[in-house]
Amino acid sequence: MTLSTRRQAKRAARREARRALPFWRRLLPTWRITLGTLTALLLLAVGAFAVLYVIVPVPDPNARAVAQNNIYLYADGTTEIARTGAVNRTDVTIDQIPLQTQQAVVSAEDRTFYQNRGIDLKGMLRAGWNTLLGKGMQGGSTITQQYVKNYYLTQDQTFERKGRELFIALKVDQQRDKKDILAGYLNSSYFGRGAYGIQSAAHAYYGVDVSQLTLGQGAYLASLLQAPSLYDVRTATPANREKAVARWNYALDGMVQLGFLTTADRNATTFPDPIDPQPATGLAGQAGYLVGVADDYLISSGTIDAATLKAGGWRITTTFDKPHQDAFVKAVQDELTGELDPKARPTTDTDVRVAGASVEPATGRVVAVYGGPDYAKQPFNDALRQDNQIGSTFKPIDLAAGLIAQHTVDGRPITVDTRYDGTSERPVTGGPTPYAPPNEDGIDYGNITLRHAMVKSVNSVYAQEGVDAGLARVRETAVKLGIPDSVRGMDPANTSMTLGTATPSALDLAGAYATLANHGQAHTPWSVQKLERVNPGGGIDVPKVPDHKATDAVGRTIADSVTDVLRDVVSPRGTGAAALDLGRPAAGKTGTTDANLSAWFAGYTPELTTTVGLFRENPKTHAKEPLSGTAGLTRINGGAFPTKIWTDYMTAALGNTPTQQFDLQTGRGDQTSGNWPTTTASSSPSSSPTNSTSPTGAPTATTPSRPAPNPPTATDQPAPAAPSPQNPQPAPSQEQPAPSPRPSQTRPERPSDPPSATAAPTHSATAPTH
């Protein structure tokens, strides 16, 4: 038998054997077919890869690498706010960049840079898998790929762009030296503060040439590459500052791991704080603050990333209303700036700052902000900062949480008419930490309702009510209303949370109060209506901005009940009496923090919500300083300058609009303020009425079955001695209005020593009282 015959016989035997198999088994391919198919697919993939490698060229540098101007417009779509985005870049050679700075960048961004071939297959597979799992387009880019994206391609997160990036990165790695690639990456990357490239970044953050960067400084600039704007520690939130420092440590630890740095040198390196941001040209006056709010919204909402925004070419129509914005600035100048005399009172009337925001409750549209007097002189946006405690402006949140709970933990009802013991410094029972806050001037209010306690801003009542409602529920309510869950001072483990240790920004607080004004429907404040960019080819990029649908934060009855109580705060006997000059229905709450470090008024009409905060800050250390003595006044309460600024601004902003009434559904037939209890000085403990207590010692809260005593006249209430450096008052402070519509201010005798500067409190158990 010939060889050919034997082969034919074997094939015939195999066919016969396969025919004898069950039908389902014959459907499965043989190992020969499987192997052949896989080999063919592999050869096809290799061939396709080779073809694509050949036909995908390394393009010319991207035209967008030359940044254009961004144009910011007011809400009318025609009035210009500012132009920004011009290129701030000076290319340097790799030899001009310190070696340790280069190594820090490699450690932070791509630790396999000197070994890989331009791509990282592991990183790409991991990113691809996360993308398939629905986690969004993921990155897995090497330094070479990032350079290709910045210099040759776009920031678009598409599979097509990622595919081109891969092949171009392979070619660039083959054609160019690693040093050239690293230099190109460092010259084309965005570092924040409008700085493109390492040279501009060195000047922007440390005021030095790139060649003079220290190890610590170079590591910080390397850290910025991951999140340029968020990791600027001079303007970052406390949480983002922690992330920036962690990223800096990650870069240095990687240098040790890669053998670039000894452990001893790494341990000797301290974090190098950058200089303050320098104002960009064209952002003087209010323009820089408005641009900052718009940019923050675009980036935080995911509408556009920071690098693409800063690359320029965008026409951005904001929500800001120019007449409203001008009115806010004028209100601050008329009500505060004109009262300050830095020459006569240099220790108290300097570095006084105002933070403000104004939001439409029905839409969440930000119509005005006040971030400072002039961005060219003060390039910090005070409207967005999250490091000032809000004091008693938090009490409406306590009340809302109690109304949601309906009952205390031991079953007692909570309504706006529930009575509490208003004795000053009465210990709070049931709280996680000991707490006995004083009322302003040590006044004992006796057995009063939650409504009256809000009107008088009685600390002892709301410290207890917040605990009775449940501190976890209070925090949850705050977040639902619009206070970011990341702000400090909202820890249910601290009883003092009830009186406003939280540190939301003025814009955050305006959003929360706007939710109350909008009957419990919450909008996240937004500041950009649309943005578009014309491409070189004539096409137009129009990124989709987020929808602005309201979410259910709290029930309407709850929100309207709180509003009903806050209307009484804006009354002749309320701490917000100065707001009566608005001459139309309004609701609000004052706030003054421990040691008089800040003062607030947050209030609203049916159509507009506005917050105003006042504080002093050391321009060099950024430590908070007391407001005591400002404008020659002993104590600055929320019912003073903040409420006056609010009233002046709201009068102008609403001047040409018809007066609207609050449409409230509180579930109560009678929404009137009721009668007022008598207050007595706390010098005599027996002056406070005796209340029954629960087995735990907590004051029993009861719903009144009969009206409270008739309100006293102004002369019935003993007036405490005016506080002064010679006659100090208990801290924390609390607003206490005079009988007149505007709270009177007592000017102190000249102090023998100026008030000492104190840092802002953080997580201590002692809270600001208002």
Q: Which residues are catalytic?
A: 109, 392
440 burial level (CB within 10 Å; 0-12, 13-18, 19+): buried
Three-state SS across 82-100? EEECCCCCCCCCHHHCCHH
DSSP structure string for 406-453: -B-TTS-B--TT-EEE--TTPPPSS-SS---PPPGGG-B--EEEHHHH
The label of the residue with tokens 């983002």 reads: 240
Among 89, 288, 121, 107, residue whose Cα is nearest residue 203: 89
Q: How do beta strands 352-359 and 419-421 pair?
A: unpaired
In sequence order, which residues have a C-beta less than 8 Å from that of residue 574 and are 6 or more positions away? Answer: 455, 456, 568, 737
Q: What is the CA radius of gyration of the chain?
A: 32
Tell me if 737 sits within 8 A of 639, measured CB to CB. yes
Integer Cα distance of 399 and 561 in angstroms: 9
**Gap between the Cα atoms of 569 and 91, Å rounded:** 60
**How many Cα atoms are found within 13 Å in the side-chain-facing hemisphere of 339?**
19
Residue 275 DSSP SS3: coil
- Alpha-carbon dihedral angle through residues 101, 107, 110, 114, given to the nearest 10 degrees: 80
Spatial contact of 340 and 349, defined as CB atoms under 8 Å apart = yes
DSSP 708: P
Edge to edge, the sheet with strand 528-534 lists 80-84, 70-73, 314-318, 528-534, 540-541
Between the CA of residue 735 and those of 324, 732, 769, what are the distances in Å? 28, 10, 9
Tally of residues, the chain = 770
Rounded (5°) CA angle 755-761-762:
170
Q: Which two structure tokens, joined as six digits, stand for 301?
A: 């909402």
Q: Which residues contact 502 (CB under 8 A, 6 or more apart)?
A: 389, 390, 394, 478, 483, 487, 488, 489, 490
Contacts of 506 (CB under 8 A, 6+ apart): 355, 356, 357, 369, 370, 382, 383, 384, 611, 612, 613
CB atoms within 10 A of CB 706: 5
CB atoms within 10 A of CB 667: 14
Structure token digits, residue 446: 């006796």
Q: Cβ(623)–Cβ(598) under 8 Å?
A: no
How many angstroms separate the CA atoms of 736 and 439, rounded? Answer: 10
* Of 214, 143, 213, residue with least CA distance to 183: 143
Residue from 417, 327, 472 nearest 701 by CA? 417
What's the rounded Cα separation, in Å, for the pair 652 and 684?
A: 46
